[in-house]
Amino acid sequence: MTAKVCAYCKEEVRLTREHIWPNGFLKRGDFDLKFSERAGKTFRADLVIADVCEPCNNGVLSNLDDHACQLYDRRFSKYVEPLASVKFSYDYSKFCRWLLKVSFNSARSVERDLEVFERHISYILDGVRPRAFAVSTYSIAPSSFKRQPDGVIEKLYPQMARCGPVIPVSVNPRKFYQSYVTRIIQINSFAFILCLPRHSETSVRQCQNALRAFPGQLLHPSGEMRIGPPAMATLEAADGIDNWPEPRG
Ligand SMILES: [Zn+2]
């Protein structure tokens, strides 16, 4: 442990190791594909960063992790079949703050877009809602294929947890990147895209519109919505990891 400044509360205290993905969360999933954006490589998901103080780590951040683990047990542990839509109930504030926390942790591991995340720390810690941000979601169905040589249909389920930057292919990527930070957090059948504006004058509506460039629908602030039917299948979703363009400023 070293005496540096905590990435969250900015206190100069002894720092502890914080998992990018919650520890309890990882214990629940037997993820095939563990992805970190660091060097664009696939890494084990139990990456840690060592710049969080104990009160933050074991207090508010741990509370947010608890909520994510409950959601894992209730929802993310169950896959979504083609054409199905499923009910999703969540605490909107806690879940958005958790998505932001995971993204901020992951972004710090590569020191990317940090000034944008810094503006959202008071939301993560205290629930002080930022002026503008938006989250959208879509689901991923299993891919089906014929097993050789007997022709039996087998399914490949989207067993993965990953977090990384994402830029839509349907718009001018450079222009988009100059206006927004967009990151995907995918847990098994469920993908969430977080949109944070780079400029302070950007409105909530503009963030929401920016998310239209991706599949899916906005995460409803009521904490209750249906997700689906799936926007893509496992192979397409996993393929995206290599195909997503690398954002450049
Ligand atoms: Zn702290």
Q: What average pLDDT does the segment 1-20 reach?
A: 82
Distance 27 CA to ligand 1 centre (A): 25
Q: Could you tell me if 161 and 26 are in contact, meaning their C-beta atoms sit under 8 angstroms apart?
A: yes
Amino acid symbol at 102: V
Measuring CA to CA, which residue among 96, 93, 8, 100 is closest to residue 49?
8
pTM of the model: 0.88
Over the stretch 33-58, which tens digit does the pLDDT of each residue have?
444 444 344 444 456 788 999 999 99
**Mean pLDDT estimate for the chain:** 85
Ligand 1 mean position, distance from CA 60 (Å)? 10
Phi, psi (deg, nearest 5) at residue 100: -65, -40
Amino acid letter, 168 = P
Q: How close is the Cα of 182 to the center of ligand 1, in Å?
A: 25
CB of 186 closer than 8 Å to CB of 162: yes
Q: Rounded to the nearest whole angstrom, what is the distance from the C-alpha of residue 7 to the centroid of ligand 1? A: 7
The token pair at 97 is 């703050």
pLDDT of 26 reads: 67
Q: Would you place residue 106 in the very low, low, confident or very high pLDDT band (cuts 50, 70, 90)? A: confident
Tell me, in angstroms, the distance from the centre of ligand 1 to residue 127's CA.
Answer: 15
**What is the C-alpha separation between 198 and 165, in angstroms, rounded?**
14
- Higher pLDDT: 166 or 135? It is 135
- Ligand 1 centroid from CA 228, angstroms: 37
> Could you identify the residue written with the tokens 């302070």?
200
